[in-house]
């Protein structure tokens, strides 16, 4: 029998020695994963500061914010932001968080680091493409950041860049000249980077699994990264054309998205017959799958981590994988539910409403299986486990409001209110970030060779968990009371009565944001002073725990791993209550 | 802790794998290490790229259909005739690529062209690869002539949505094709290094991409003929 495993390992590229090759333009998937993580970390703090600025202005609109006038003398004269500058910050907050944090951290960062190791490979399929995809992402990030410093400031058209506002240029308002150009080019570049990354993830999963690593034996987070990469491949391949057409409308005088007869600043725009709705269709065809690009890796991370700390196998592992596939498939059939109030044909709204409600079925199955795994378990309440439980909580809280918004008749009333802000922050942003926190506490020992401080991790969890509920729960109430979103200040009688709620949310946001400094301190302190981590500190089963912490350059020190079991063998009888994937030990019948 | 690893050079067979259940996947032909073979990875990568590029042009196609239907300002115009000639040129390049494939199929094993006869076969294969790349360049030249012809009629990028889509489709296809020509040069360099072993040179991946570029162009041409 031809046995390839017996052949010596030949790594695709040798270990680098120079500083630039080792730490900057590295081909090593582990370094690239850390680079993505660092970029996401910087971005999340920028995004968080932007949200603080917006929240401060919403609660106390006349207060001057120190140093804000230094960032933009026009947008914030004497430190008090103009309504337009509020929209600029809103745009940048959403864009930075969705693209550079929620896409990068759970998918690109952890996926790059752990997908090859979990499937027993030495690196990604195409290491050079991998390096290119990170540095292309970094170029996109620089272009986006540059929008803060151009004369007209960042764009005011929101992270969704709705046309015609985003397409017509500087006549329509601040930030819509060079700022919007930079936004569109940055996102187009980001699309290219994401396509390269998705191509690499798919090829790696299909071709580089080690002996015995059948698809059914892949860890759940590897499954999630694989499904996410398929979604990302098809979604970013649609956003890129949308950005190309937008750039052409803005710079070459075409009329894809700009309708005829548009007069702005007393000037008739030289365009004819374009369709603003076309932009929305293209954008949301990407935009809804993007929600799952953000959340599916975190679902996979939680499904991997939770059994480790519950010391029980994940309930219904095939149903978990199947539900993730179903969510990925259905994500392409529901984009119109973002457009119920766009002027789209009302019959179309019903067509999009049905699959939106259907998508709650696999999501509910997933949630119940995660809860069922915890039921009756002797949990080890580590910081990672707490964030997994927190994930389930916020995923349910955000998911339930989705039932209401999926129905056009209710969404018509709620769409432009804070109810939607509460919904998507819970189900997409906070849930995804909780997955990232869980992943960080869980994999930090493997990535650095040192343990994070558990007491600080638990303090971080409780402050964050209570904090996000204090921020986003009241927003449901605001939405039901008719408080519109995207406004920089509330001057109507009914809205003035709601300002105390906004003040409460602002204080909660400031405190919850400050609590993230505990995480940052823990991350940096533990990197240098944390206790030394063993090879498998959590007694977990997957392949990354069969190699040293941190792993050697080729992941397994020249060894080829052979896999005998699935990743779900916890709670077995014997001297230890788990069986590693690399163990030939027979799994007892339960 | 019971873990099983294979040190370099260790001999095992599937029968020796213990009682935990044998590995479910057998190594596929062409696997050299746990990192897979060059040919399989690059071919998988190209198939994934084909999916992404298909989606990319599908998005433009649906945009065109929506834009054409939403406002009655669509200007119909005659496609430049040179496009039909260049289509034949591009289809011809697929034939020459297959001629190259036949030559490389005659190269023995994984050692490559070690004999004079084998070297002659590889040399002929590479000749057809050069012809394929040259025909690709000729096609792009044909597209340049087509754009010039349109400009002569006063049809620029922003003149009308129909001309806008014409330029978008043809320019983006040409960029993808130029990428393919760069790929041809890469494969030629690899063929020289591997003594003409196509499997180790990315030839299979390149030919998938090149044929796909042909099919994509035929699709785009039909779209343009039907809609313009």
Confidence at residue A510, expressed as pLDDT on a 0 to 100 scale: 98
User: In chain B, where are the structural domains located?
Assistant: 99-228
Confidence at residue B111, expressed as pLDDT on a 0 to 100 scale: 61
Q: Write the CB contacts of B144 (distance below 8 Å, at least 6 apart in sequence).
A: none
B 30-89 residues with CB below 8 A of A? 31-36, 40-41, 44-45, 48-49, 51-53, 55-56, 58-60, 63, 66-67, 70-71, 73
Q: How far is residue A201's CA from residue A206's CA, in Å, rounded to a whole number?
A: 9
Name the minimum distance, in Å, from the CA of A281 to any CA of chain B: 9
Q: Write the CB contacts of A514 (distance below 8 Å, at least 6 apart in sequence).
A: none
Q: Which residue range is the domain that position A30 belongs to?
A: 25-259+271-546
pLDDT digits (tens, 9 = 90+) for A459-475: 999 999 999 999 999 99
Least confidently predicted of A321-335, A568-582, B105-119? B105-119
**Residue-averaged pLDDT of chain B:** 84
Q: How far is residue B148's CA from residue A393's CA, in Å, rounded to a whole number?
A: 62
pLDDT digits (tens, 9 = 90+) for A201-219: 999 999 999 999 999 999 9
pLDDT digits (tens, 9 = 90+) for A387-430: 999 999 999 999 999 999 999 999 999 999 999 999 999 999 99
What's the residue count for chain A? Answer: 590
Say yes or no for a CB contact (<8 Å) between B55 and A210: no
Domain membership of residue A580 (yes or no) is no
Chain A residues whose beta carbon lies within 8 Å of the beta carbon of residue B21: 564-565, 586-587
Q: How far is residue B210's CA from residue B173's CA, in Å, rounded to a whole number?
A: 12
Nearest CA in chain B to A237: B56
Q: What is the dihedral of CA B197, B199, B203, B207, to 10 degrees?
A: 140
Neighbours of A66 (CB within 10 A): 8
Chain A residues whose beta carbon lies within 8 Å of the beta carbon of residue B8: 8-9, 558-559
pLDDT at A481 over 50: yes
pLDDT digits (tens, 9 = 90+) for A44-81: 999 999 999 999 999 999 999 999 999 999 999 999 99
Domain membership of residue A476 (yes or no) is yes
3-state secondary structure of A589: coil
- In which band, very low, low, confident or very high, does the pLDDT at A8 lie, cut at 50, 70 and 90? very low
Report yes or no: A561 at the B interface, CB cutoff 8 Å: yes
Name the minimum distance, in Å, from the CA of B62 to any CA of chain A: 9
- In which band, very low, low, confident or very high, does the pLDDT at B36 lie, cut at 50, 70 and 90? low
A 202-221 residues with CB below 8 A of B? 202-203, 206-214, 216-217
Confidence at residue A574, expressed as pLDDT on a 0 to 100 scale: 82
Chain B residues whose beta carbon lies within 8 Å of the beta carbon of residue A273: 67, 70-71, 73, 161
Report yes or no: B101 at the A interface, CB cutoff 8 Å: no
Which residue bears the tokens 């609590």? A515
Chain A residues whose beta carbon lies within 8 Å of the beta carbon of residue B17: 212, 562, 564, 584
Q: A131 preceded by cis ω (within 30°)?
A: no
Say yes or no for a CB contact (<8 Å) between B23 and A120: no
Say yes or no for a CB contact (<8 Å) between B35 and A564: no
Residue A266's Cβ-count burial label (10 Å; 0-12, 13-18, 19+) is exposed
* Cβ–Cβ < 8 Å for B35, A558: no
How many domains in chain A?
1
Confidence at residue B106, expressed as pLDDT on a 0 to 100 scale: 77
pLDDT digits (tens, 9 = 90+) for B123-159: 899 999 999 999 999 999 999 999 999 999 999 999 9
pLDDT digits (tens, 9 = 90+) for A140-164: 999 999 999 999 899 999 999 999 9
Name the minimum distance, in Å, from the CA of B92 to any CA of chain A: 29
Domain membership of residue A331 (yes or no) is yes
Report yes or no: A35 at the B interface, CB cutoff 8 Å: no
Say yes or no for a CB contact (<8 Å) between A256 and B6: no
pLDDT at A581 over 70: yes
Report yes or no: A17 at the B interface, CB cutoff 8 Å: no
- In which band, very low, low, confident or very high, does the pLDDT at A518 lie, cut at 50, 70 and 90? very high
Nearest CA in chain B to A210: B34
Chain A residues whose beta carbon lies within 8 Å of the beta carbon of residue B73: 260, 272-273
**ipTM associated with this complex:** 0.93
Query: Where residue A302 sits, what CATH number does that domain have?
Result: 1.20.210.10
What's the residue count for chain B? Answer: 228
pLDDT digits (tens, 9 = 90+) for A214-265: 999 999 999 999 999 999 999 999 999 999 999 999 999 999 999 999 999 8
Taking each helix axis as running N to C, give the angle between helix B38-70 and helix A276-310, from 0 to 180 degrees, rounded to the nearest 10: 140
Report yes or no: A11 at the B interface, CB cutoff 8 Å: yes
**What are A484's strand-pairing partners?**
A417
pTM: 0.93
Report yes or no: A337 at the B interface, CB cutoff 8 Å: no
Say yes or no for a CB contact (<8 Å) between B36 and A207: yes
Size of interface A-B (CB pairs under 8 A): 227
Domain membership of residue A207 (yes or no) is yes
| Partner residue opposite A123 with nearest CB, options B35, B45, B66 | B35
């Amino acid at each position: 029998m031809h046995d390839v495993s017996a052949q010596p390992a030949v790594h695709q590229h040798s270990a680098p020695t120079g500083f630039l090759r080792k730490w900057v333009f590295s081909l090593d998937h582990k370094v690239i994963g850390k680079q993505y993580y660092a970029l996401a970390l910087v971005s999340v703090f920028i995004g968080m500061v932007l949200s603080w600025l917006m929240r401060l202005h919403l609660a106390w609109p006349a207060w001057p914010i120190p140093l804000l006038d230094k960032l933009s003398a026009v947008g914030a004269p004497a430190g008090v932001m103009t309504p337009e500058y509020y929209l600029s910050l809103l745009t940048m907050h959403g864009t930075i968080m969705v693209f550079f944090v929620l896409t990068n951290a759970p998918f690109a960062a952890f996926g790059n680091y752990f997908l090859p190791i979990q499937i027993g490979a030495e690196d990604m399929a195409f290491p050079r493409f991998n390096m290119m995809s990170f540095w292309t992402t970094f170029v996109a990030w620089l272009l986006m950041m540059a929008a803060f410093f151009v004369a007209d400031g960042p764009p005011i058209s929101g992270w969704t860049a709705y046309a015609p506002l985003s397409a017509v240029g500087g006549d329509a308002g601040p930030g819509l000249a060079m700022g919007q150009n930079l936004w569109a080019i940055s996102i187009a570049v980001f699309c290219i980077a994401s396509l390269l990354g998705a191509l690499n993830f798919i090829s790696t999963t299909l071709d580089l699994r080690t002996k015995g690593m059948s698809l059914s034996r892949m860890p759940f987070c590897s499954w999630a990264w694989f499904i996410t990469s398929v979604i990302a491949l098809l979604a970013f391949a649609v956003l890129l054309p949308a950005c190309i057409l937008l750039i052409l409308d803005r710079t070459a005088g075409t009329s894809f998205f700009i309708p005829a007869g548009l007069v702005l600043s007393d000037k008739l725009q030289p365009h004819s017959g374009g369709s603003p709705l076309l932009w929305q269709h293209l954008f949301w065809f990407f935009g809804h799958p993007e929600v799952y690009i953000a959340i599916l890796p975190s679902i996979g991370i939680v499904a991997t981590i939770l059994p480790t700390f519950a010391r029980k196998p994940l309930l219904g592992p095939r149903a978990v994988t199947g539900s993730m596939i179903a969510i990925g498939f259905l994500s392409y059939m529901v984009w119109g539910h973002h457009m119920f109030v766009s002027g789209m044909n009302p019959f179309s709204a019903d067509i999009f409403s049905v699959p939106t409600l259907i998508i709650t079925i696999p999501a509910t199955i997933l949630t119940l299986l995660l809860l069922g795994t915890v039921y009756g378990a002797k949990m080890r309440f580590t910081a990672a486990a707490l964030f997994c439980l927190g994930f389930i909580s916020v995923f349910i809280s955000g998911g339930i409001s989705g039932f209401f918004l999926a129905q056009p008749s209710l969404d018509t009333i709620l769409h432009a209110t804070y109810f939607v802000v509460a919904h998507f922050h819970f189900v997409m942003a906070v849930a995804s970030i909780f997955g990232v926190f869980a992943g960080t506490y869980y994999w930090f020992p493997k990535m650095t060779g040192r343990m994070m401080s558990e007491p600080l991790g638990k303090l971080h969890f409780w402050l964050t968990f209570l904090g996000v509920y204090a921020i986003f729960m009241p927003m449901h109430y605001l939405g039901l009371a008719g408080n519109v979103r995207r406004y920089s200040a509330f001057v109507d009688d009914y809205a003035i009565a709601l300002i105390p709620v906004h003040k409460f949310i602002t204080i909660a946001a400031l405190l919850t944001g400050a609590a993230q400094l505990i995480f940052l301190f823990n991350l940096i302190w533990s990197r240098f002073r944390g206790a030394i981590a063993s090879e498998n500190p959590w007694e977990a089963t997957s392949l990354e725990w069969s190699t040293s912490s941190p792993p050697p350059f080729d992941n397994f020190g020249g060894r080829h791993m052979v896999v005998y079991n699935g990743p779900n063998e916890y709670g077995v009888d014997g001297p230890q209550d788990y069986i590693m994937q690399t163990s030939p030990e027979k799994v007892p019948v339960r | 802790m019971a873990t099983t690893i294979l040190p370099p050079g260790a001999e095992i067979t599937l029968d020796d794998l213990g009682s935990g259940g044998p590995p479910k996947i057998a190594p596929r032909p062409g696997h050299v290490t746990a990192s897979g073979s060059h040919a399989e990875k690059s071919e998988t990568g190209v198939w994934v790229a084909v999916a992404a590029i298909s989606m990319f042009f599908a998005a433009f196609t649906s945009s065109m259909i929506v834009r054409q239907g939403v406002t009655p300002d669509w200007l119909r115009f005659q496609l430049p005739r040179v496009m039909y000639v260049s289509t034949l040129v591009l289809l011809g390049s697929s034939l020459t690529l297959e001629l190259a494939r036949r030559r490389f199929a005659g190269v023995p094993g994984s050692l490559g062209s070690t004999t004079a006869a084998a070297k002659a076969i590889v040399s002929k294969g590479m000749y057809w690869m050069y012809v394929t790349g040259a025909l690709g360049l000729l096609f792009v030249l044909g597209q340049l002539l087509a754009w010039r012809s349109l400009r002569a009629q006063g049809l620029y990028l922003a003149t009308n949505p129909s001309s806008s889509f014409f330029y978008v489709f043809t320019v983006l296809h040409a960029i993808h094709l130029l990428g393919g020509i760069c790929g041809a040069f890469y494969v030629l360099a690899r063929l020289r290094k591997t003594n003409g072993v196509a499997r180790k040179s990315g030839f299979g991946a390149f030919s998938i991409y090149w044929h796909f570029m042909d099919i994509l162009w035929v699709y785009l041409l039909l779209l343009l003929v039907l809609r313009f």
